[in-house]
Amino acid sequence: MDTQPTLHAPETHNSALCGGYAAPLYFRGGLAPRQKRRVIAHIEANLDKPLTCGTLAELVGLSTSYFNRAFKSSFGRSPHSYLISRRLERAQDLLLATDEPISQIALACGLADQCHLCRLFRKLVGESPAAWRRVRRT
């Protein structure tokens, strides 16, 4: 006898607890498009300020742990990793567009100090901010 796997409908929560409809017990993961837009807009508007996963999760009405999983599913990396990369991209823009000292650029990007910027920059870009700026501005 040939046994084929049988596909079953997903198990569901009690529909009385879910507003009258049957909600699946599993989630495919990821943030809804409007949640993604809202989180990205908030990050972009507040790159110079301290941002926490709790704040971002609250912004879209999720628990911090679920938000972290959903964010990683949507963006392919953790919220912290995404935030650091956006801050470094902003630093690169400022390094090219202004003559501001690196210490001021670090603060404008929400990093603790020049040392913090230099350490992250060297780790992710491969050279110091000053060397990177010097090569690209000539």
User: What is the residue-averaged pLDDT of the chain?
Assistant: 86
Q: Is 105 exposed, middle or buried (0-12, 13-18, 19+ CB in 10 A)?
A: buried
The helix/strand/coil state of 63 is: coil
E strands in 1-138 = none
Q: Is the pTM of this model over 0.85?
A: no
Q: What is the mean pLDDT of residues 4-11?
A: 42
Residue with tokens 């009405």: 61
pLDDT digits (tens, 9 = 90+) for 104-120: 999 999 999 999 999 99
Domains, the chain, ranges and CATH?
33-76 (1.10.10), 82-137 (1.10.10.60)
pLDDT digits (tens, 9 = 90+) for 76-102: 999 999 999 999 999 999 999 999 999
CB 67 within 8 Å of CB 53:
yes
